[in-house]
Amino acid sequence: MSTYRVAVFTGEKTIEFKELELKKPLGTQALVKIDSCALCTLEQRVYNGVMRYYPFAGGHEFAGTVCEIGDKVVHLKPGDHVTARILTNCGSCYYCRNGHENQCVISFQASLHEGINGPGGLSEYILIDESLLYKMANDINLSYAALTEPLACCVHSISQGNIELGDDVAVIGVGIMGAFHIKLAKLRGARVIAIELDPERLEIAKEMGADVLVDAGKCNSVEKVIELTEGRGANVVFCTVANPQSAAEAIAMAGKLGRVVLYSSFHPKLPIELDVNHVHYSEMIITGSVNPKIKDFYVASKLLSTGIVNPARLISEEVPFENIDYALQRAIDPETYRVIVKI
């Protein structure tokens, strides 16, 4: 019997390697040898003890190579590079049946890795249904391919913003998600105003294509955006930081007929002060964005495979599987972008 290793979070800041039996793919399954797995906030929160779901087989942003396929697999063959939409949907609830699978009633429930709670991408192998796999270019760097899921989340958010050519788009926060928003808004033909406190992150914003950089530590960002838009306010604002005060600013800097997308969730979820007449008179739309749809995931896989989006600058460090503890310590450091575990 051959075996493989999977990393399991068994308690706060405790990770153990478990040895599991390597099984053959059946029917529509493929066996994927995982190459890279990025550490998202979900893994960081479980590691930190903020979310206590132990035991937890973490890792939902991964990419690898198909090594064996079941007899009913149609679109994949051994050797193909793939990533997976592993945080999936039920397919049968009200939202799934109405074309809003990202709002699925179970979408936040982690899947199972061979009976262990969690998506299980921090593993040498994974057995997974073809329908959840997305083929990537054969020459893609698999660390980049592992970023399909976070990019897909941003693709969904960008479509919520309905950007038109020439729009003034403000992006609050230049973490990895803000950086992807900047790139995608540029691809949609916007003039992008990046707002961020950290000057080093403003440099990243520039590299991702931002037209105007606003150092939020040095000025009032709401006033600055209004000034930059001849007094009108932005057409679209994306808030990518978890601070409710930034949500209030996002709404305040949007102009008439503006669209505000609250991309990030908020911690703590404190109430904000809202100028209700600003909303009334401007006819603005305030919305959120949560989870990618199937199409968003496909679009993200294509943007990365073709090199239209290059995430090289958003990878802070690549760490071997053996040093997974160190990788998580690096990932929870707010200074880092994505840390990738190389399996």
Tokens read off for 202:
């403003």
339 forms part of the interface with Zn ion (CB under 5 A):
no
90 forms part of the interface with Zn ion (CB under 5 A):
yes
Q: Is the peptide bond before 55 cis (omega within 30 degrees of 0)?
A: yes
104 forms part of the interface with Zn ion (CB under 5 A):
yes
For the bound state, the minimum distance from the C-beta of residue 100 to Zn ion, rounded and expressed in Å, comes to 9
Q: Using the rule CB under 5 A, give the single segment among 29-37, 40-48, 74-82, 133-141 that binds Zn ion.
A: 40-48
The CA distances from residue 264 to 95, 129, 195, 236, 255, in Å, are: 21, 30, 15, 15, 21
93 forms part of the interface with Zn ion (CB under 5 A):
yes
d(Cα 98, Cα 173) in Å, to the nearest integer? 33
Q: Which of 96, 222, 262, 328 is in the footprint of Zn ion by CB under 5 A?
A: 96
Q: Using the rule CB under 5 A, give the single segment among 53-61, 110-118, 120-128, 230-238 that binds Zn ion.
A: 53-61
Q: In what order do the strands lie in the sheet with 212-215?
A: 212-215, 191-196, 168-172, 234-239, 254-262, 285-288
Nearer to Zn ion, 60 or 81 (CB): 60
Residue 186 CB: number of other CB atoms within 10 A? 17
Contact of 89 with 297, CB cutoff 8 Å: no
Nearer to Zn ion, 106 or 197 (CB): 106
For the bound state, the minimum distance from the C-beta of residue 90 to Zn ion, rounded and expressed in Å, comes to 4
89 forms part of the interface with Zn ion (CB under 5 A):
yes
182 forms part of the interface with Zn ion (CB under 5 A):
no
154 forms part of the interface with Zn ion (CB under 5 A):
no
Nearest to 99 by CA among 236, 256, 276, 293: 293
84 forms part of the interface with Zn ion (CB under 5 A):
no
Contact footprint for Zn ion (CB under 5 A): 40, 61, 89-90, 93, 96, 104, 149
